[in-house]
Each structure stands twice: as C-alpha cells, then as structure tokens.
Amino acid sequence: MKKYIFIVMMLAITSAVFATPYASQIRVDSLQVYQGANLTITYYINEVGGTATIDIIKASDASVVATFAGTATQGKNTVIWNGTVDNASGAKVDTGTYKVKITVNATKAAGWTEVASNSSVHTPSYTASNPTMLQTLWDGFSGMEMAIPNDPTKDSFGYVLCSTSNNVDPQNHGQVVFNPDLSCADGGDGQSMWLKYPGAPVVGTDYTIVWGSCVDPDDADYIWVNGQGFVATEGVDVMYGKYNDVMATDATGGITACDNCRDIAVDKEGGTKYAYLTWSNNCIYKIAISGNVLTGTATNVAGMTDTNLYSKCVDFDASGNLYWSSRRNETTTSTGGRIFRWSAATVAAATAGSLNESNAEWNVNFPSGAQNVEGVAITPAGDVYAACNAETAADGSVRGIYYIGNTSTASLTKTLSVSDRIVPFATTYTNAVSAYGLGVAADYAGNVFFADRSNEQIREFGPGGTTSVPIVAPNSQTFEILSLPLGAHNWAIYE
C-alpha cells in the first residue's frame, strides 16, 4: 500500500485594527483518510479576521490543485475538506503528497493598541465592578512570568503559558495555559490548570510563589519554571514538565541556591544545558543540567561594578545572547532600571563574577524614575521589548512597554526616552494597569503580552501594518491519504 503524506501549511492575516494574526494549534481529525473522504482541519486564530482562502498544494512542485473558502474568526476555526478541487462537486484530488495553505490578507492601521485580554468584558478599565475572566474563575490569580512556545513544529505552538500562585484555598500553583486568543486552553473553569506543581502546601505555612518560566531549548513542548519555596519542607524550587502535563516534576537536584530566585532561562552550550537563575542583588546563578535535573554547583557569574543592581529577569535570544534586566536598590526607592546583554561566547565561557558592565554588548538605561523593569520579550524577528511597570512619579510619564532594539545589533549603549514606549501604562493610581505587573513575552507574529498581576489580567498589544505569517502544522499532525479499498468501488461478479 502506498502512503501519502500531508503537511498542513497555514498563513493567516486579518482585516481589522488588531494585532498581527496567525494560525496555530493546527490539528486534523484523522491521521489516515481515504481519497475523496472528508478531512476536518481545526486551528486557532489569535485575532478576528475575514474569510480565508485555502489552497491544497502539491509538495513536490508547490502547484495548487484545489482552492476553497475557509474562515479566519478569532478563536477556533473548523474547515471540512471533501477531497475535491473546489470542496464541492469538483473532481477528486489525485493521490500524492500535499500541503494545506490558508491565506487571509489584510492591512491594519499603524500603531500599537491593546487588542486582546482575558477579561470577561473588554473596557479600558479593569475594576471590581468589571471582573476579569480569571477573577470569575478563582480568586487570587497572580500572573507572573510568561512562556510562549514559538516552534511551529511542536504541539505547544500558539499556547500562552503564565506562571501563577495562590495561597488562598483553592490553592493554584502552576502554569495557566491559554489559547492564542487568551481563552482557557483546557476548555474548563481554569481550576484544572495544566502543569501544576507537586506537594500540598499548607495555607499560611508554606509560602509559595511561582516566578519565572522558559521554554526548553531541546524541545519546545517542555517548560522550566522556578519559584520561591514551592514546598518549603521539601526544597522544591525548580520544576520541569510538558506544557500540558497534569503535574510537573522536581528538577532542583538538591541545589539550595535555587530558593527565592526570580527568573530562569535555559541555554544549550557545547552539548550541555545550563540553567541561569536570578537572585537578589548582582546575582546570576549558572547551573548545569543533566537528565533534565540541575546538577553540580551553582556559580554566580555576575560581577557588576554597581553591586546594588537587583536581579529581575534573564532571557536568551535565538543566537544564545543573554539578557539581564534589573532595577537599582536604593534607600527609599528602587530606580534606575537597566538591561544588559552578553554575547553567546562570553556567556558560554562565564566563570564566577565574570559578567560585568565592561564586557556587556548592550548597556541600556531606562528613563529617570523607572522602577521594576521586568524581563525582555524577544520576537522571532529579533525585536526586543521590556516593561517598566512602576515609577517614582504618579503621573504615568514613565510606565509602559518599551522598544529596546533588535538582536542583530551587536553593540548598543543608550538611555531610553518616553518616545521609545510602544504602550504607556497611565498613572500608578488607576486600575487601567496595576503597578505590580510582571512578565512580558512575545508570540510568533510579534505581538507583545503583559501579565498584570494585581488586576489578574494578561493583555496583548499588537502593531499595525501589512503582514503575512506562514505556519506549518506540527510534526505530530502529519497524516496519510490511502487508496480507496476494493469494496468502495461496488464491483460485482456475474455469471
């Protein structure tokens, strides 16, 4: 029996003032289908769009053998193809190897706007009288850092994961998993979060805070998370698990330096994985990973001249460059937000105290009065963003999401100004965006997400412009078209 392989390829753009849209979570209802039989393709679009054109193209020469209309609504889309050239009464497509391509063209107004949030009612203000979706699911969602897997070949592609903790019953410690439109990915009430953490902390006894998270460099379906005393009596501080596992596993390896760390980033260097964890002032721990468990000793590779720089977040770009964001601890305020970048070669060779201002490729200062500069968001195109969610002033003149630069820039020394903000955050005393927001992250299409902890909110900000984003279905969704069985021809033998 000959086997025919389909690879689903999708390209999605919308036609309104929304974020850059794209298709993800591409699934087929059967991994084997007979020629001419119905095949159901489902996928998510992060933002509302117009009607999609679906092309069935031959893999060998990219020729189009079938064209028919689809949909590009925000959220889940379902398309049934009957195997014909027009998805109607036309001829059946010949056997062979094909791809499915979906195209929805659009031009959007320029400028960054808030285009999605996980609120039950979308208005400029999120208050007690206008509860967010998460507030209606459980009390105490505390969004921290986010991890957005951006490998289209993986099942995790298109999901948005956000670390959270809540020490008020019912307790929730783990990763909330959202679809790209920020609906709950488990389809339920959010209580059954994916990737929970082991143990049963006692309210008021085991103080649990889930902090940072990152995608594993070997397999984007797996996530690393660190925190502050997951289970105080067991020393569980670093966790590892598949994005949709019911329970994560302890990966701390008995290394005590992991406790109370604020963020984690994992990098592959010379065939070995290393975890980088931030902690307190002037500290970036580097720890080897073996068998997806931390091993050996924790080495503080940071050695900044300004020893009052308080570690916030660490992130790697696709080239292995390390970004470190910090604030500056002072007697009465925490001002002087900074971002540094060290090259992949410098990081791979790092020893105790070797990463400092002098060998940093990037040295970026935030405007005067900036507080709580959080981790960077890096798009697949290499654009780098960061959030300043607090300031010494109360007029909102500094707070917001800033454009930092592009990863292709080898050397960057600058002081940001408010003109570098893509999104302002109003004043400290409004519910529009709280002063206690945390993580920022970017999706495959370059949209930027922000976790607003106090308002129990995740918000998505998107740029305008004309875009197209091709997406290939995950490898696990490769399927076959089989020749019709003999009985399907209704042959009969007569004497």
What CATH number should be reported for the domain holding residue 399?
2.120.10.30
Rounded (to 5) percent helix, strand, coil in the chain: 5, 45, 50
pLDDT in tens, the chain (495 residues): 333 333 333 333 333 334 577 888 888 888 888 888 898 888 888 877 666 777 777 777 878 888 888 888 888 899 998 988 999 999 988 887 777 777 766 556 677 877 777 765 444 444 444 445 555 555 567 788 899 999 988 999 989 998 887 666 666 677 888 888 888 887 655 555 677 776 545 554 444 578 889 999 999 999 999 887 655 555 678 889 999 888 888 899 888 888 788 899 999 999 999 999 998 888 999 999 999 999 999 999 999 998 888 888 999 999 999 999 988 766 555 567 899 999 999 999 999 999 999 999 999 999 888 877 888 999 999 999 998 877 777 777 888 899 999 999 999 999 999 999 998 876 554 545 655 567 899 998 889 998 877 677 788 888 876 666 777 678 788 777 788 876 555 554 444
pLDDT for res 441: 95
Q: Is residue 494 in a domain?
A: no
Instruction: With beta carbons less than 8 A apart as the criterion, state whether 275 and 264 touch.
Output: yes
pLDDT for res 124: 47
pLDDT for res 74: 83
Q: Is residue 78 in a domain?
A: yes
Q: H-type helices in 386-494, by residue range?
A: none
| Token pair belonging to 62 | 């990219």
Q: H-type helices in 245-388, by residue range?
A: 344-348
Say if residue 30 is in the same domain as residue 60. yes
Say if residue 443 is in the same domain as residue 477. no
Domain residues for 64? 4-109+471-489
Could you identify the residue written with the tokens 């790209």? 180
Say if residue 208 is in the same domain as residue 241. yes
Say if residue 69 is in the same domain as residue 178. no
Q: How crowded is residue 303: how many other Cβ atoms within 10 Å of its Cβ? A: 19
Q: Is residue 35 in a domain?
A: yes
| Token pair belonging to 92 | 């059946």
CATH of the domain at 44: 2.60.40.4070
Say if residue 44 is in the same domain as residue 92. yes
Q: How crowded is residue 167: how many other Cβ atoms within 10 Å of its Cβ? A: 18
Beta strands 98-103; 4-11: pairing state: parallel
Of the candidates 99, 21, 14, the one whose C-alpha atom is nearest the C-alpha of residue 51 is 14
Say if residue 483 is in the same domain as residue 458. no
In the chain, the number of structural domains is 2
Say if residue 177 is in the same domain as residue 85. no
pLDDT for res 292: 95
Q: What is the pTM of this model?
A: 0.87
Q: Is residue 495 in a domain?
A: no
* Cα–Cα distance measured from residue 468 to residue 455, given in angstroms and rounded to the nearest whole number: 33
Say if residue 140 is in the same domain as residue 91. no
Q: Is the peptide bond before 131 cis (omega within 30 degrees of 0)?
A: no
* Cα–Cα distance measured from residue 380 to residue 214, given in angstroms and rounded to the nearest whole number: 15
Handedness of CA 135, 436, 196, 167 (dihedral sign): negative
pLDDT for res 138: 55
Secondary structure (3-state) at 52:
strand
* Contacts for 271 with CB less than 8 Å, ≥ 6 apart: none
* Cα–Cα distance measured from residue 221 to residue 244, given in angstroms and rounded to the nearest whole number: 8
Q: Position 102: which residue type?
A: I
pLDDT for res 129: 47
| Token pair belonging to 164 | 């959270």
